[in-house]
């Protein structure tokens, strides 16, 4: 009995910690699924390109940093699935699979593809100091993936040349992308310093 007592006493807190982490992860996934959708409604149309300026990239990058490759991918997959299923998740209240065949469909695919890339580069960093170079590399790689898929799909949809596609789908968005990445990196570093025990980045 003296051996079993401490074992029972310690098993309950361990179970509570596991449940707490699972709830935290689920809330994180749900939060970034819908934050990505909210980012689609913060929209500024540009007259020289069919691709609008939105805040989605900011939430996509931040979610990838905080959730890690597995749960970041789940959050963006849920975003796409809910949009295809009919919920107004895309820009201009777009719904259904047809929206993914439009000029911005490639960027949405890029949101999903960027998650494992960013999460893999960040890794499971448990050190007390954040590696700025690693974070910067992860964000740059994530942006490269998003714009690669976005521009590739835009070329297929519009039938224009590479130079025209780059001018429509990449160049106008570089300054904003840099600011969004910097903001996401700063928030991630601050969050990690204060909340290392939440366990989102598994």
φ, ψ (nearest 5 deg) of residue 125: -85, 105
> Quick check: is 132 in a domain?
yes
The boundaries of the domain holding residue 150 are: 20-194
The dihedrals phi and psi of 43, each to the nearest 5 degrees, come to -130, 130
CA distance 145 to 62: 15
Let me know if residue 144 belongs to a domain: yes
CA 38/CA 46 separation, integer angstroms: 19
Helix (H, G, I), strand (E, B) or coil at 126: coil
Q: Is the pLDDT of residue 137 over 60?
A: yes
Of residues 40, 41, 38, 42, the one with CA closest to residue 30: 38
pLDDT, tens only, 104-113: 999 999 999 9
**Is 35 inside any structural domain?**
yes
CATH number, position 127: 1.10.1760.20
For residue 8, pLDDT beyond 50: no
pLDDT band at residue 22 using 50, 70 and 90 as cut-offs: confident
| Residue 13 belongs to some domain of the structure | no
Q: What's the domain count of the chain?
A: 1
Residue 3 domain flag:
no
Determine, yes or no, domain membership for 202.
no
| Residue 92: inside a domain | yes
Q: What are phi and psi of 45, to 5 degrees?
A: -70, 145
Inside any domain, residue 11: no
Q: Under 8 Å CB-to-CB from 173, ≥6 apart: which residues?
A: 51, 53, 147
Q: pLDDT digit string (tens) for 113-129?
A: 999 999 999 886 555 45
């Amino acid at each position: 009995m003296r051996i079993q007592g401490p074992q029972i006493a310690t098993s309950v807190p361990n179970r509570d910690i596991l449940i707490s982490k699972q709830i935290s992860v689920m809330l994180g996934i749900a939060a970034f699924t819908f934050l990505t959708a909210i980012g689609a409604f913060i929209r500024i149309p540009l007259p020289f390109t069919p691709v609008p300026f939105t805040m989605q990239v900011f939430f996509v990058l931040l979610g990838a940093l905080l959730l890690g490759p597995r749960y970041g991918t789940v959050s963006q997959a849920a975003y796409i699935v809910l949009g295809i299923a009919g919920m107004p998740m895309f820009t201009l209240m777009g719904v259904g699979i047809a929206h993914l065949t439009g000029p911005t469909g490639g960027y949405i695919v890029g949101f999903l593809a960027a998650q494992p890339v960013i999460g893999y580069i960040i890794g499971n960093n448990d050190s007390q100091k954040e590696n700025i170079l690693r974070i910067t590399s992860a964000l740059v790689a994530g942006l490269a993936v998003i714009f690669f898929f976005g521009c590739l799909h835009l070329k297929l949809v519009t039938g224009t040349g590479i130079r025209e596609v780059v001018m429509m789908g990449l160049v106008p968005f570089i300054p904003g992308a840099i600011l969004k990445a910097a903001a996401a990196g700063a928030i991630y570093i601050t969050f990690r310093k204060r909340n290392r025990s939440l366990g989102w980045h598994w």
